[in-house]
Amino acid sequence: MKIEEEIKQPTFKDNYQKALINLVFTAGWLQQQQSSLFKSHSLTLPQFNILRILRGQHPKPATVNLLIDRMLDKTSNASRIVDKLEVKQLVTRTVCPSNRRAVDICITEAGLTLLNQLDPVLEHQRNGLQNLTDEEAAHLSDLLDKIRN
């Protein structure tokens, strides 16, 4: 469905306004698609993303700062998302021995197992962009880089 129909706005001021609205709408649409994949495992999208970063570090620990650096949403509160993951015993939190201000966060075996279960689901969906060709996906990424200069 074209964006005009999705939000029932027949015309836009110009192509810039149309692309902006389409961009925000489509990103939300994709995030909702992804969220639904995790719901049955009681994981939210931000929780999943944090876990994935931790797996990338594994077996090295990560700090909260490192998580923020790598998160898509820089302003969100990594500390509290880690709280939730800790309660579910998917991560551990220990004070860093070499710098007691920092906290070492590690993914647990349970966390790794959960992610491994989720991988094939995501893979099968080709990350939700299955309607694009490889070239189109690359071109899209270039346009987005250009937006942010």
Partner DNA sequence: GCACATTCAATGTATGTACATATATTTGCA
Partner DNA sequence: TGCAAATATATGTACATACATTGAATGTGC
Q: Which CB atom, from 112 or from 122, has the smaller least distance to a second copy?
A: 122
Q: Name residues contacting DNA, limited to 119-138 (CB under 7 A).
A: none
The DSSP-derived string for 64-97 is: HHHHHHH-SSTTS-HHHHHHHHHHTTSEEEEE-S
Q: Name residues contacting DNA, limited to 29-48 (CB under 7 A).
A: 31-32, 35-36, 39, 44, 46-47
**Residue 77 binding target from a second copy, DNA, none, CB below 5 to 8 Å by type:** DNA
Cβ neighbours, 10 Å, residue 50? 27
Q: Name residues contacting a second copy, limited to 24-63 (CB under 8 A).
A: 24-32, 56
Distance CA 123, CA 4 (A): 30
Residue 119 as a binder of a second copy (CB under 8 A): the answer is no
Local structure of residue 23 (DSSP, 8 states) = H
